[in-house]
């Protein structure tokens, strides 16, 4: 399955549109990670636990979006966008959306 | 224990400890930041020739054989000292200089991670690069609480068939 954030798949032609597909996931942070992050927070720098957590969540949201596109009969998702929102204390929503298309 | 000793201990706990924490955060935070910038510059040098552009169209003579979405992200936090300074700065307003290097290094790091991921997968260039910032954790005005910022870089990685246009095109 092809996926891109440009308006088409490079080197291919869009033959059919299926509409917008999206996938989301809401994740809460882990208490162990949070304690580590709290310590790291004093001296600054990368919070590796959070980076990993968000990357995993984003992959899951993307996967859900692609599953939805696949179930519609599409073979590619173009113009993919990401959004992150902090919905509650310690929880974040990762959201991915794009246009499901058939390419040749 | 007489009351003088207790007084000294309580003063130390109330004022000494936060000051110590601020100093510790300042020194270690500065070292971490300098080291990170050095690391970023070294990796940027390696990737200098690799095309990473925000254009959404490819050059005409590129024959793309494969493409995919690549992402790179980093969650970064400011040290305690700088958060306190920024908190003070917020009273009078104006430019908060301590935050600028934080966002800059996070952004450069995210772009580098995206580039490295595309290279690892054998792609030749990245098009339509977009950058997104989101504040993740809550940070309170007094300098406590996590002040994590997430930087996300994403784009479309493209593999081309060869460095030159097909022979038929050149004749």
As for the ipTM of the complex, it is 0.86
Neighbours of B3 (CB within 10 A): 7
Residue A12: give its domain's CATH number.
Answer: 3.30.110.70
- What count of CB pairs under 8 Å joins A to B? 131
pLDDT tens sequence across B32-82: 889 999 999 999 999 999 999 998 888 877 888 889 999 999 988 877 788
- Half-sphere exposure at residue A53, Cβ-oriented, CA atoms within 13 angstroms: 23
pLDDT tens sequence across B123-166: 999 999 999 988 765 544 444 455 678 899 999 999 987 655 44
Of A47, A82, A92, the CB nearest to B154: A82
DSSP string, B59-81: -TT--EEEEEEEEEEEEEE--HH
Buried b (16+ CB within 10 A) or exposed e, B141-153: eebeebbbbbbbb
- pTM of the predicted model, to two decimals? 0.84
Could you give the number of structural domains in chain A? 1
Which chain A residues are Cβ-neighbours of B109 within 8 angstroms?
46
Domain borders along chain B are: 3-170
Indicate yes or no: CB of A92 within 8 angstroms of CB of B136. Answer: yes
Which overall architecture, per CATH, does domain B3-170 show?
A: 2-Layer Sandwich (3.30)
Domain holding A88, by residue range, is 2-103
């Amino acid at each position: 399955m092809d996926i891109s954030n440009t308006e088409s798949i490079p080197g291919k032609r869009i033959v059919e549109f299926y509409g917008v597909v999206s996938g989301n996931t809401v994740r809460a942070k882990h208490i162990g990670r949070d304690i580590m992050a709290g310590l790291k927070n004093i001296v600054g720098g990368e919070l590796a636990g959070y980076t990993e957590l968000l990357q995993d969540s984003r992959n899951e949201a993307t996967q859900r979006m692609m599953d939805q596109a696949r179930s519609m009969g599409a073979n590619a998702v173009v113009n993919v966008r990401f959004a992150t929102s902090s919905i509650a204390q310690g929880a974040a929503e990762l959201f991915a959306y794009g246009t499901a298309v058939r390419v040749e | 224990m007489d009351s003088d000793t207790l007084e000294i201990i309580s003063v130390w706990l109330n004022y000494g400890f936060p000051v110590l924490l601020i100093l510790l955060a300042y020194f270690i935070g500065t070292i971490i930041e300098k080291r990170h910038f050095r690391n970023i510059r070294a990796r940027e040098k390696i990737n200098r020739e690799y095309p990473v552009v925000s254009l959404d169209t490819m050059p005409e003579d590129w024959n793309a054989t494969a493409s995919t979405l690549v992402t790179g992200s980093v969650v970064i936090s400011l040290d305690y000292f700088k958060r306190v300074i920024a908190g003070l700065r917020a009273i009078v307003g104006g430019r908060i200089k301590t935050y600028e290097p934080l966002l800059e290094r996070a952004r450069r790091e995210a772009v580098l991670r995206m580039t490295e991921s595309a290279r690892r997968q054998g792609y030749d260039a990245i098009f339509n690069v977009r950058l997104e910032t989101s504040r993740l954790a809550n940070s309170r005005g007094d300098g406590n609480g996590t002040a994590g910022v997430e930087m996300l870089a994403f784009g479309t990685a493209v593999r081309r068939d060869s460095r030159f246009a097909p022979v038929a095109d050149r004749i």
